């Protein structure tokens, strides 16, 4: 028995010395797993703070910190190559960012390498929009492309309405990326189609939203567009919450009846007739909404069309609705004296006021194909008979239509800056002939927000 014990000890020593192990103690590793938080990502040439995706990695039998992630292939190196992909982070969660060099699309192959030489890959579908002017002050709000109305809710956050659906989206207005929260208003509104949200204004804890009130682009009346509704706001910033309030569906009809009773001064009946497209110089299309100085009930309804008179050089039209709080509950509208503003032949694309009673007017063309037409920003005191003052012309070489003012700063303060948002729905963002509104992946749909210095 003693010799057997000695032999066993010697044998064990030999095993230890030569590094041999028994198969029962061999380490085996599983195939690594790699999963993206989103398979589609958009960026911009020259973009600052483009969106990123998160990559989750794991491997059976291995600590996730031992795994490496890298880009190993691209289908379009001119857009972004493997060296333009940056992977940061440790453990089971990594962050992937991409730097774009050219407009277009590419499929990027991401590879995780685990222990035992085992690997796995996944594909990130990446699209890059072209460089824009003021790119350092530009961010991209993804998830939708037709931003058409915006309201500041504090802390740099903004609620954005879209004219292609009835979803309200909360964004961090200082960063590119997807909405923090969304609220689908379809059921609350009982809407079959989009309301065509074009204007918004906040009074206290209530936001008023208005549809365009006009026909669709084919001149067909869609009842859902004849909508004014409210949402109640609670919280602020990232903690903002919205709940549906009330809705009214007769403001268009009341405007037409009021105009006819006053000699058909603005041609609203003709502008809303069957077959009449809304975005004509003598059409009918609402895009601005803000409350009158010192009032919580009288709202200024700003028109993209018609101009007054409906000819080149005509003035922009505002019709005061003196009981907007009741109109949003379905009551018949009452109207004040209309206001005509000289915006150099441009019409109203948005209208916004601050607590000091200072207004900014975003002016643009009444035309449907206006993305390269002039845009300008005006200041105004909100008083009928007082004319606005041009502050600056806006760039028009880039895709997208300037559509929304987030908030009005102290206009006369040195270095005052204002944040504007574009509607990019008709833009060919990626050079493939597809309008942004028709892109099938919401991560590739986006609008642009840019800060401008006034003065």
Residue 28 lies inside a defined structural domain of this protein: no
**Angle of CA points 8, 10, 16, to nearest 5°:** 105
Cα atoms in the 13 Å half-sphere on the side-chain side of 362: 30
> Which tens digits make up the pLDDT trace of 338-379?
999 999 999 999 999 999 999 999 999 999 876 778 999 999
Q: What is the CA radius of gyration of the chain?
A: 29
58 contacts 79 by C-beta, under 8 angstroms: no
The terminus-to-terminus CA distance of the chain in angstroms comes to 101
Residue-level pLDDT at 25: 56
pLDDT score, position 370: 66
Counting residues of the chain whose pLDDT is more than 70, the rounded percentage is 94
Residue 390 placed within a domain: yes
- Looking at the structure, tell me whether residues 304 and 340 fall in a common domain: yes
Domain containing 229 equals: 135-453
The CA-based diameter of the chain, rounded to the nearest angstrom, is 123
Question: What per-residue confidence (pLDDT) applies to 371?
Answer: 74
Asked whether residue 411 is domain-assigned, the answer is yes
Q: What is the 3-state secondary structure (H, E, C) of 284-303?
A: CEEEEEEECCCCCCCEEEEE
How large a percentage of the chain has pLDDT more than 90?
A: 92
Question: Under DSSP, is residue 264 helix (H, G, I), strand (E, B) or coil?
Answer: coil
What is the rounded distance in angstroms from the CA atom of residue 84 to the CA atom of residue 310? 52
Tell whether 89 and 159 lie within a shared domain. Answer: no
Euclidean distance between CA atoms 139 and 252, whole angstroms: 35
Query: What phi and psi, each to the nearest 5 degrees, are found at residue 258?
Result: -60, -45
Which among 109, 129, 149 is the end of a domain? 129
CA–CA dist 56, 62 (Å, integer)? 14
- Domain annotation covers residue 12: no
The answer to whether residue 21 sits within a structural domain is: no
Same domain, 71 and 202: no
26 part of a folded domain: no
* Same domain (yes/no): 78, 166: no
- Within its chain, how far is the Cα of 345 from the centroid? 28
- Let me know: does 350 contact 199? Beta carbons within 8 Å: yes
**Are 306 and 434 members of one domain?**
yes
Contact 146, 442 (CB under 8 A): no
- Alpha carbons 92 and 286: distance in angstroms, whole number: 50
DSSP 31-85: PPEEEES-SEEEEETT-SS---EEEEEE-TTS-GGG-EEEEEEES-TTT--GGGE
**What does the pLDDT look like over 174-200, one tens digit per residue?**
999 999 999 999 999 999 999 999 999
CATH code, 305: 2.120.10
DSSP code for 409: -
Are 121 and 161 in the same domain?
no
> Does residue 52 sit within a domain?
yes
Question: Which SS3 state, helix, strand or coil, does residue 168 take?
Answer: strand
* 116 and 141 share one domain: no
Model confidence at 12, pLDDT cuts 50, 70, 90, reads: very low
pLDDT in tens, 43-91: 999 999 999 999 999 999 999 999 999 999 999 999 999 999 999 999 9
Cβ–Cβ under 8 Å, residues 371 and 436: no
**Long-range residue pairs from 76-79, CB within 8 A, at least 24 positions apart, any chain:** 76/104, 76/105, 76/106, 76/107, 77/106, 78/102, 78/104, 79/103, 79/104, 79/105, 79/106, 79/126, 79/128
Structural domain total, the chain: 2
Residue 404 lies inside a defined structural domain of this protein? yes
CA distance 142 to 116: 40
- Closest C-alpha among 130, 88, 133 to residue 105: 130
Same domain, 184 and 53: no
Nearest Cα neighbor of 335 from 318, 311, 319 is 319
């Amino acid at each position: 028995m003693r010799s057997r014990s000695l032999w066993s000890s010697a044998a064990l020593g030999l095993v230890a010395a030569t590094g041999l192990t028994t198969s029962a103690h061999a380490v085996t590793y599983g195939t690594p797993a790699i999963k993206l938080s989103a398979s589609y990502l958009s960026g911009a040439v020259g973009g600052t703070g483009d969106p990123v995706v998160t990559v989750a990695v794991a491997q059976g039998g291995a600590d996730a910190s031992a795994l490496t992630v890298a880009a190993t292939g691209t289908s379009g190196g001119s857009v972004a190559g493997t060296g333009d992909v940056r992977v940061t982070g440790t453990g089971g969660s990594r962050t992937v960012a991409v730097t774009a060099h050219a407009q277009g699309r590419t499929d990027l192959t991401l590879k995780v390498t685990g222990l035992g030489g085992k690997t796995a890959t996944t594909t990130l579908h990446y699209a890059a929009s072209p460089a824009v002017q003021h790119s350092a002050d530009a961010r991209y709000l993804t998830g939708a492309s037709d931003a058409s109305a915006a309201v500041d809710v504090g802390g740099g956050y903004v609620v954005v309405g879209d004219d292609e659906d009835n979803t309200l989206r909360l964004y961090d207005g200082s960063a590119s990326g997807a909405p923090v929260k969304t609220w689908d208003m379809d059921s609350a509104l009982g809407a079959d189609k989009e309301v065509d949200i074009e204007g918004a204004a906040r009074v206290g804890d209530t936001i008023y939203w208005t549809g365009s009130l006009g026909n669709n682009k084919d001149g067909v009346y869609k009842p859902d567009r004849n909508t004014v509704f409210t949402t109640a706001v609670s919280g602020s910033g990232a903690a903002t919450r919205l709940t549906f309030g009330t809705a009214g569906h007769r403001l268009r009809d009341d405007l037409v009846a009021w105009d006819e009773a006053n000699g058909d001064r603005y041609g609203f009946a003709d502008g809303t007739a069957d077959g009449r497209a809304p975005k004509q110089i003598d059409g009918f299309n609402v895009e601005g909404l803000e409350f009158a100085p010192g009032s919580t009930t009288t709202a200024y309804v700003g028109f993209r069309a018609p101009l007054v008179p409906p000819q080149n050089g005509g003035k922009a039209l505002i019709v005061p609705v003196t009981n907007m709080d009741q109109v949003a509950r379905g009551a018949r509208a009452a109207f004040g004296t209309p206001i005509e503003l000289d915006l150099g032949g441009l019409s109203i694309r948005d209208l916004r006021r601050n607590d000091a009673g200072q207004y900014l007017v975003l002016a643009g063309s009444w035309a449907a194909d206006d993305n390269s037409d002039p845009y300008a920003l005006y200041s105004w005191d909100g008083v009928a008979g007082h004319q606005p003052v041009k502050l600056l012309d806006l760039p028009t070489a880039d895709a997208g239509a300037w559509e929304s003012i987030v908030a009005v700063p102290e206009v006369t303060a040195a270095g005052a800056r204002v944040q504007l948002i574009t509607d990019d729905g008709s833009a060919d963002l990626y050079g493939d002939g597809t309008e942004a509104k028709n892109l099938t992946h919401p991560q590739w749909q986006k609008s642009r927000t840019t800060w401008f210095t006034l003065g």
